[in-house]
Structure 1
Amino acid sequence: MYASGKYSSRGPALIPRMKTKHRIYYITLFSVVLLGLIATGMFQFWPHSIESTADWTLDKHTVHDAPLIRLPAGSPIPERGDLSCRMHTCFDVYRCGYNPKNKIKVYIYPLQRFVDELGVPISSTGLSREYNDMLSAICDSEFYTGDVTRACLFIPSIDLLNQNSLRVRETAQALAMLSRWDKGMNHLLFNMLPGGPPDYNTALDVPRDRALLAGGGFSTWTYRQGYDVSIPVYSPLSADLELPERQPGPRQYFILSSQTAIHREYRAELERLKQENGEALLLLDKCSNLSQGAASARKRCYKGQVYDYPQILQESSFCVVLRGARLGQAALSDVLQAGCVPVILADSYILPFSEVLDWKRASVVIPEEKLSDMYTILKSIPHRQVEEMQRQARWFWEAYFSSMKAIGLTTLQIINDRIYPYAARTYEQWNNPPVVKWASVNSPLFLPLIPPRAPGFTAVVLTYDRIESLFRVITEISKVPSLAKLVVVWNNQDKSPPEESLWPKMTVPLKVVRTKENKLSNRFFPFDEIETEAVLAIDDDIIMLTADELQFGYEQCLKHT
């Protein structure tokens, strides 16, 4: 019954041959599918910024392996910066489009090494540690995108921080070769040390078409209001030395000068002030008995006595920051870190981030011709106000000056606020240090005696419909250095206040509060907009008081409270 020649105890003889053929087929098919799944998964889950992250490193091998781009001698050169550029004329805001997070998208060009026809690099230093840190921070931020088609703002990987290290013509040619340059439209360039001898221009000399410039030494002649961004000159001491915060209050010295490259006329005037005021003023200079190097940069001397720098800055209430060959000075950052109130004598200098920071709360700006009156001017400032300024100076450094990351991201936030003004940070967010939250206090022994309040005073102006008189009053009040905010109480229920575009331009927040009933007592209502302890209540027809008189009144209020 059984065909034993065709069948064995293990089954039909033809089946093993079919299994082998199918096994090879299925194994091959499975392998192809598996490799496809693995490849798909890798592309799906591999970090999109891996290439750009690898670019921003000081690893010499990575920098060395960056593509070499040779610039033809006849490469086009951009035009010099257009001084008439504004956000609505030289920046394509439509490229930014609608963004549910109200954040601009920033693309950083891949790292490249540009050389001329002879192979000579356009920069003598290549990628600096400082610029590498800034690009790395931007790559790690919510602003960054690796998709060039989604980008609203473009940042070259060409290091322009120090013009001294650049070949100006070749650098301009390299910028023009960038794939998305388009005459610099929507491009942002960072520069901290502009110009060169003998003129030391206050803006980068590299031709840059319409590109925005974040510059560290702008003057009123080169700064394009609302377009460029004035940034600080970074101090490398910030990364190498941790200076603990010191509590505000009186210090050993009243005024201290620590810069080593001061013009001889200014130094002569400081010497005269030193003779008149004795130990209240400490005038330091570089140490002639120390060998040059990194160690000597952290020392200052006076008549053979050596002081540690920048630690000595913490021993003074006020620290002088004079202009040097360049307007922007790294000394400003050192002074802020020490919690010393900077006394800035640099005519026409655009202070860092002055578009959003209220420097009246953290510094004293004195015209250069008034240097001889500096001691008298500073002595007129009440002690309590000095303490507020010391505290504010230190916070400015921590929030905006302390690292290349802070400088870079603050610059992008300012540009972001221009593009999405409805989501912009408020004056208070930019200028008020974060207060201690009650829930974060563990012990009642450390509770403040009173809730923390913002420094300065709030002016509450009661008005009905005298628009011209109102504008005169608030314009004069806005000139008071200690003014923190203006609150206009609109007491007319039958008439709307003027449109926002018609109000005088202010450097402090202006809030208009409409009342439900016409009462004179509305001026004394504790509106939520009032965030200071001191309040000035004034009517819209009090036009005889000057800014100096109002400032004097506020100072007297501080002395007797």
Structure 2
Amino acid sequence: MGGDNWKLMTLCLLTAVVALLLVLSIHLHQDVKYWQHLEEVAEKERSARISWEEYSEKVRKESAKEISEVTRRATQAAGGKDCPPCNSPTCPSCPKCHEPSCPKCHDCTPCQSNEVDPKTGFTFKVYIYDLPKEFHSDLKRDQKRCVSDQYGTEIRIHEELLKSPLRTLDPEEADFFYIPIYGECYLFRENQKSGRDAMSNTNRWFRKALGIVVKDTPYWNRTQGRDHIWTFPGARGPHIFKDWKRNIKKSIFLTPEGDRSLSEQFNTWKDVVIPGLEADEEFWSGKLKKEEMDRDIFAFFKGTIHNRGGKSYSRGLRIVLENLLKGEKDIVFAEQTPDCNRKCYKRMMRRSTFCLCPRGWSPWTLRAYQAMMVGCIPVVMADEIEFPYENSLDWKKLSVKIAESDVNKTLEILRSIPQSAIEEKRAEIEKVWRMVAWQKPSKPGDAFHSVMRELEGKKKFMKVSSYTFWN
């Protein structure tokens, strides 16, 4: 009898094992099919995108050819000749090319706002929406912290534009439309007032502002907001507006978070990376940089190392660096302590050759800009970061970038840099440090003017053409 029971148990066990293997096999097959399906979908999307790009290029070429032919016939009919391009040296006054400087150009299309304005040095104008004060100045009045916070660029840019000759009161001549809304400041207040409802309240607040823009003027719908500017000065970027993808995805974002891995919230083709705000005058004026001090600290960092997020914070880089640099007499790598206040922090940074800038929760950090303002070489440890002005400023010449996977080699890398290379990087910093300094009042060459120069590159000349805009 016992033998029969054992056989029965063995049979049941074998049956269960076979069933389990069958289930695993089915799931494995389904997983393989699922990933194959994803690959097929991705391939179809790639093919569709290539086809669309080829079609778009064909349409652009045909349109250009047709426009050229129409223009040629019109000028011939008028007894003239083909009109030279707007930047042609034979027609220096393109908007007036039918006048003596180019007498036979009867049908030259004006350059319009492509001419440099002698007052501003720029080729564009900005219209600022007149939103109710609850979206901007009331917040500044009630939340003093917002003015000097590193996210205070949303206030600074608005106020600089209000008094800038770039501003136009005529929306018909505007190239860009600025929406003055202090989102980070509002969210900060809502976190204090509403707690976990803060994000939902902020979302409704953004939608209310957008509703005013869309309802009261025709300019948003004319381009689906592509020539409209929003400032998102925090690491979360547009995510503080939960419905941003549905409502403002095509607009231009001014944001410090140039994380190239976050393609949804940051698009390097349409958006502009801006420096965070350092409101301390000793930094932005260059006063601290001019103080006579020895560079007796080889590398410096003071800030959060052990966060409650554990190794998720900074991807564990700061903990690794703390262990790596422990015991190095000419290196400071430590948490903030009561015995070293802000004055102490600034002067230790001023005394340092290298300022370590490991990522925190996100890639960007104000330290890199503070370092430049005191002549310290930023050492960046954030793989996906995109810095401001990368199209015009060679960051390799003024900083050191260490891959996150090479953080254990930090000391070896820095010690191997020759003094001549250090001096070259300092000289490069001296040329460009004002580009990351929000000076007050703003001056040519500082952060505001540099951001405006970047914005100028986003200007589109054919407002109604779907082929000249991002999707």
TM exceeds 0.5?
yes
**TM-score, scaled to structure 1:** 0.48
Change in Cα spacing, 1:228 to 1:255, as seen in structure 2 (3 Å) is same
Question: 2:326 and 2:387 mapped to 1: Cα distance?
Answer: 31
- Say yes or no: does 1:170 pair with 2:223: no
Q: 1:109 to 1:364 in 2, by over 3 A?
A: same
**Which residue does the alignment assign to 1:256?**
300
Q: Deviations over 1:39-72 (max 9, x none)?
A: xxxxxxxxxxxxxxxxxxxxxxxxxxxxxxxxxx
Residue pair 2:301, 2:332 contacting (<8 A) in 1 also: yes
Amino acid at match of 2:132: Q
Secondary structure class of the residue paired with 1:271: helix
Q: Distance in 2 between matches of 1:163 and 1:346?
A: 29
Distance 2:209 2:159 in 1: 22
| 373 and 315 in structure 1: CA distance in 2 versus 1, 3 angstrom threshold | same
The alignment status of 1:369 with 2:410, answered yes or no, reads no
In the TM superposition, what are the counterparts of 1:94-493 in structure 2 within 5 Å?
97-101=112-116, 103-114=123-134, 125=143, 128-129=146-147, 130=152, 131-161=154-184, 164-165=187-188, 167-178=202-213, 179=217, 180-182=219-221, 183-195=224-236, 207=244, 208-220=248-260, 221-222=262-263, 223-238=266-281, 243-246=287-290, 251-260=295-304, 265-275=316-326, 278-288=328-338, 296=341, 298=342, 308-403=344-439, 405=442, 406-419=446-459
Change (3 A) 1:382 1:362: same
SS in 1 for 2:326: helix
Tell me the equivalent position of 1:558.
none
Q: State the alpha-carbon separation in 2 of the partners of residues 214 and 240 from structure 1.
A: 22
Whole-Å Cα distance in 2 between the matches of residues 95 and 144 of structure 1? 22
Aligned residue number for residue 29 of structure 1 = none
Question: Aligned to 1:320, what secondary structure does the other structure show?
Answer: strand
Larger radius of gyration: 1
Do the aligned partners of residues 272 and 122 (structure 1) sit closer, same or farther apart at CA in structure 2, a change above 3 Å counting?
Answer: closer
For structure 1, the 5+ residue unaligned runs are: 1-85, 291-295, 300-307, 422-561
Query: Alpha carbons of 1:240 and 1:281: their partners in 2 closer, same or farther (altered >3 Å)?
Result: closer
Q: What are structure 2's unaligned runs of at least 5 residues?
A: 1-52, 58-108, 117-121, 191-201, 311-315, 462-471
State, as a whole percentage, how many aligned pairs show the same letter.
20
- SS of the aligned residue for 1:319 comes to strand
Look up the match of 2:66. Answer: none
**Alpha-carbon distance in 2 for matches of 1:356, 1:163:** 34
Q: Give the AA of the match of 1:235.
A: E
Does the aligned pair in 1 maintain the 2:299–2:331 contact within 8 Å?
Answer: yes
User: Can you list the C-alpha shifts for 1:274-300, whole angstroms capped at 9, x where unaligned?
Assistant: 236x2121113212468xxxxx5x16x
Instruction: From the two aligned structures, give the one with the greater helix fraction.
Output: 2
Greater strand percent: which structure? 1
Task: Write the distance in 2 (CA, Å) between the matches of 1:231 and 1:145.
Answer: 23
CA gap 1:212/1:349 in 2 versus in 1, 3 angstroms:
same
Q: Could you state the TM-score of these two structures normalised by the residue count of structure 2?
A: 0.57
- C-alpha distance 268-136 of structure 1, shift in aligned 2 (>3 A): closer
Structure 1 Cα separation of the partners of residues 110 and 278 of structure 2? 35
Counterpart secondary structure, 1:245: helix
